Chains A and B, each alone.
Chain A
Amino acid sequence: MNGPSLKEQTSRSARYDVLLFGLLITLVMIGFILSLTSGSVSIPVSEVWNLLFNADAASASSSQARIVQELRLPRALAAFATGAMLALSGVMMQVLLRNPLADPYILGISGGAAVGALGVIMLGLASIWMPYAAFTGALLSVLLVFGLAGRRQGWSATRLLLTGVVISAGWGALINLMLSTSSNQTVHSMLFWLMGDLSQSRGQLWHFVLILVVLVLMMAQARPLNAMARGDLQAAALGVNVRRLRLSLYLCASLLTASAVTLAGSIGFVGLIIPHMLRLSGARDHRKLLPGAALLGGSFLMMADSLARTVIAPQQLPVGVLTAMLGVPAFLLILYRSRMPANASGNRELP
């Protein structure tokens, strides 16, 4: 072959990947700094470091230290974990359903969680039972769709999608029923939950363990996932055990979504847009797309949450409002500037 060999050309694109991941890690750091410094009490960057790591210093008992250690750090971790889980789940759902419009909530998981969460808000038990109720609702929805989509059909994309969308609609009706029969005070906290809100969220170790485990599991299947994006039959002909892969995709993505929804309510937009932002930036291979989505999703939600706390401080906005407000222009900018065609369906432009 004339010119540089394929291998050389690919190593050039590897340099681009290093750049991309360098940028993503920088974004994560910026996200952390923003979440730790912004809020109704302003704490300069230089002091955050001291407050976090010099616990023995005299400042340890000060209110600033408590704000950073007990409020902002757990919330920043929660934001990162939620964003990473949603973006990862979005990538997986889009391959599972081979549909660029799929997002983590499309199969009704958030609906189930919302019914659980709103139920306990209605009963006035939200403070203790909220996470358990939301997680139970999400799992119930996962099992329902899983059972109804049918073993025999091998959870085909169309059947899963149809079942999920219908179950989702069912949850939607229940949610509206609860909203319309609740008092004004409860409706406000219900709406906050539905829009997605991190103010009560605390990131915990198991969230990160879950992300890591799913990431490792899926990275081991990254090449088969690339094949599955070309269709189930094509993947099967290339030696992929499609049934098993679809099953693990569905279960892992559902578990991530259920955890994210339990942690922060149904924050929209992250799971749909982050995978596309990365694909448009050239990371279409799942070996880059999966870790990239975790990093970008996490940093994006940390930034959105920082803004949610400061835009109309001391009042706080639900972060779900900000994800769309930030995400729409950012996504459109990338879409506009990208050289890759956006019409993934292969439809050609009309003359």
Chain B
Amino acid sequence: MNPGMAAALFQIQQVSVTMAGKPLCNDLDLTLRAGERLAILGPNGSGKTSLLHTLMGLQKPRTGQISINAQNIAALSAATLAKQVGLLFQSAQDEMPATVLETILLGRLPHQHSWSAMSELDWKQVECAVTNMELSEFLNRDVCELSGGERQRVAIAALLAQSPQVFLLDEPSNHLDISFQIKAMQVLSEIVLSEQRALIMATHDINLAARFCDRILLLMGNGRYCEGRTCEVLTESLLSAAFCFDIQKISHQGHDFFFPAGFSSQANRT
């Protein structure tokens, strides 16, 4: 390995994921180094969420292995894994009542023993997460009565409180307004870069991925995939092929932006 490069933090070797017999990705090889951010893009049902769940150890890959800090995650207990890897779910389930603060405190669960009280570090992480997601006014509200975007901020705050080495995010911008989409990614990016952690996010927002991620994993929807640096993968031709839709690029102030074209179709004129 090139000594100038950061150490491999998260390694995916020959991993295949299937759902109901359908291959989602075949023989995926991917190494994430400290400080790297990867976006997973792909059409509906292409396996973004399944892959994230597999990386979190919630489902077993059909073949291959995943390791963090050179340890196979299949050999780690769920509790040990949760100290190092954290997952933001696509949506939260709130059948039972709980306040915002209680929900964020749960992020510290992997770091606590059954009978221990909250440590100074626990409080520091929680306060930091609350400040970053601007939730100090909400702490005693019930999570059931929050708006979708506010609930998403609570979930992100809980993940920040968990403070894992590898952040796995399933559509982090879900329900968030534009400013919080950017703020949340800025906070996460800053932690990943300054503390040499790593981030993998599944998203439908190509421009968010282009702005915040160093690398892209593009799932084609048939088991094949494309992986590489952001500028290599985010091209009109590759994206159009993956989504089966004409996707075009415009440049503004040195940044590339992608948008769905096809303005001349019948539906637009009616």
Contact = CB atoms under 8 A, between A and B. Distances in A.
B92 A230 contact: yes
Interface range for A: 35 or more
Contact of B92 (A7, A221, A234, A343): A234
A100 B81 CA distance: 31
B24 interface: no
Given A238-B110, A241-B78, A229 B98 contact: yes
Interface range for B: 35 or more
A6 B127 contact: yes
Contact of A1 (B53, B96, B130, B144): B130
Contacts of A346: 94-95, 144
B123 interface: yes
B145 interface: yes
B98 A230 contact: yes
A98 B96 contact: yes
A269 to B, nearest CB: 20
A6 B106 contact: no
A213 to B, nearest CB: 16
Contacts of A221: 114
A180 B55 CA distance: 58
Interface string A226-264: 110111011011111100000000000000000000000
B67 interface: no
B126 A6 contact: yes
Contacts of A226: 98, 102, 106, 109
A345 B95 contact: yes
Contacts of B144: 341, 343-346
Given A221-B114, A346-B144, A1 B131 contact: yes
Nearest to A345: B95
A100 B89 contact: no
Contacts of B145: 341
A1 B126 CA distance: 11
A52 interface: no
Contacts of A279: 97
Contacts of B103: 230
A228 to B, nearest CB: 9
A230 B110 contact: no
A6 B98 CA distance: 17
Nearest to A223: B109
A224 interface: yes
Interface in A268-300: 279, 284-285
A240 B78 contact: yes
B83 interface: yes
Contacts of A233: 53, 58, 89
A207 to B, nearest CB: 25
Contact of B109 (A10, A95, A238, A341): A238
Given A230-B92, A230-B106, A346-B144, A238 B162 contact: yes
Interface in A197-237: 219-224, 226-227, 229-231, 233-234, 236-237
Nearest to A224: B109
B89 A238 contact: no
A5 interface: yes
Contacts of A95: 96
Contacts of B58: 233, 236-237
A264 B180 CA distance: 56
A340 B87 contact: no
Given A9-B139, A222-B114, A223-B114, A237 B96 contact: no
Contacts of B89: 231, 233-234, 237
B125 to A, nearest CB: 11
- Give the 9 A-B CB pairs with smallest separation, nearest first: A239-B82, A239-B79, A231-B93, A229-B96, A239-B110, A220-B114, A237-B87, A238-B109, A346-B144
Interface of A: 1-3, 5-7, 9-10, 94-95, 98-100, 219-224, 226-227, 229-231, 233-234, 236-241, 279, 284-285, 340-341, 343-346
Given A230-B92, A230-B106, A231-B92, 13 more contacts: A2-B136, A10-B118, A94-B96, A230-B96, A231-B93, A234-B92, A237-B58, A238-B107, A239-B81, A284-B98, A344-B97, A346-B95, A346-B144
11 contacts: A1-B131, A230-B98, A230-B106, A236-B78, A238-B82, A238-B110, A239-B80, A241-B78, A340-B142, A345-B95, A345-B144
